[in-house]
Structure 1
Amino acid sequence: MLSSTVGLVTGGCSGLGRSAALRILRSGGSVVIADLPSQSHLAEPLVEEFGSSRCRYYPTDVTKEEDVMGALDEAENGGMGVVNATVNCAGIATPSKILGKRGVHDLELFSNVIKVNTIGTFNVNRLAASRMSSLPPTSGLRGVLINTASIAAYDGQVGQCAYAASKGAIVSMTLAMARDLAPNGIRCMTIAPGLFLTPLLEGLPEKVKEELGKQVPCPNRLGDPEDFGKLVEAIITNPMLNGETIRLDGAYRMPP
């Protein structure tokens, strides 16, 4: 049970983020869903189902300090308390080859992917950690930061230089962040998902989705977002999980 969890879930309106938010809510915790204004309508059913005392939405661009501070304030001002768990799922994936038919890789595109995925994740964690450090410790612990990388951090495919770099950076800073925050009783973990049935894949034809699922060794299917939510719960409830990246991919390894 996560009744004492006050979560901030970025990218929480859909896909993996929504699954994480639902898992916390259904296990008794509270959540602020932080996502772009264009996604607000997707959060409304959750707020209605669980009530504004346990579920709130706040329009957030994770790269903007004022937005993230506002989302953290939303939890405290809404009566939930100080956020003690972040789940960072906000991210973008814009494919491009270094050299392709359209020419050389656009530098602004590369910078933007890094800005949203890597800097956005760090921005949320640094600000949330500052708030968490004020909490009274429970068995020496005050909170946990959970990041979302990707198996692209290890198996970057053609056209994924920007995305792989952004996710690789998240993997690399996991241990450093855990070590930085250890004196404050704050853990840091990262999940690296494989092929999951998120909105990006849901739009594909059924035959294509079946073929993709068959490529996963075991279980022989695409990941269900609920699998991600289960791991989020496990990380929150297991105090010895710290400073590590967990591949959640059914032993799948991406080809070039």
Structure 2
Amino acid sequence: MNELLARLTNLSYEVFGVLLPGIVVSLFLLLSWIALGSLAPVWSFHTLPEFTIVGLRNLFDALSLASGIGVSIPLIAIWYFLGHILLWIGRSGPSVHGRGDNWATRVALTLVLRIPKPLHSFDPRLRPLFEAVRKEFASSGVDLEWRHFYPVVKSFLSRELASSLVATYQNKYTFHRSVATASAVLFWISVLTLIGALITFWANGSQPNWLLLIFLLGGSVLIAWGFSGSYMYHWEMFGNTIITEAYSLIYGPKHDDSSDPKPGDH
């Protein structure tokens, strides 16, 4: 049973940390295509058509079960690859004090693909609990710093606890960091599209969906603000949960089944 739970946990990381962010960035790209409007065929030399609901409906109607499966397999591979790109980029951010209370700095760093993370991997107020748990895992001559501590204790918790929030917070902070990265990509696509649209409109009168384009530009900043903040929160909660769950498991009161009332006892 524990082995099955471990496999499901690993699979959930691939789904929420890699595959789902790939779907999000592909959705952002689709919205950018819609926002291009009549600029799509102009800029692509008529390789990419203008997006229309009718064209999308005709595409779905033309797909059979076999062709649908044939399309879904490479599509999942693309989502997986895009998710990994977001994961690689998102890890490069600097550490900042607190939880990024200076939202302007946090958003600015996010938009240049440097999503900040908290300076501390857990709430400093949990330091006494951290030291107590670390003492239980440190062998003679080994001083466990956080980089060594958390994977060891995480493995311990996965073996000893039937239910843990550690993997949940890890999946959350990974997903939120990737969405913040995707929002930065959407921001720069929107900025470049807006500049190119103004030039094209002045040159030959072709124009995009201005309302949607401006909406995507503003929305990308809002998404960067929200998800960069929630990423920092879940990052810290990941560390907090490792410490508190391990402390509770090691030092908490032990439940004695023999003291439970049995049927018929009064």
Greater per-residue helix proportion: 2
Q: If you compute each CA radius of gyration, which structure gives the higher value, 1 or 2? A: 2
Same fold, TM-score > 0.5, yes or no = no
Greater per-residue strand proportion: 1
Q: Give TM class, smaller chain.
A: under 0.3
**Higher relative contact order (Cα pairs below 8 Å, separated by 6+ residues):** 2
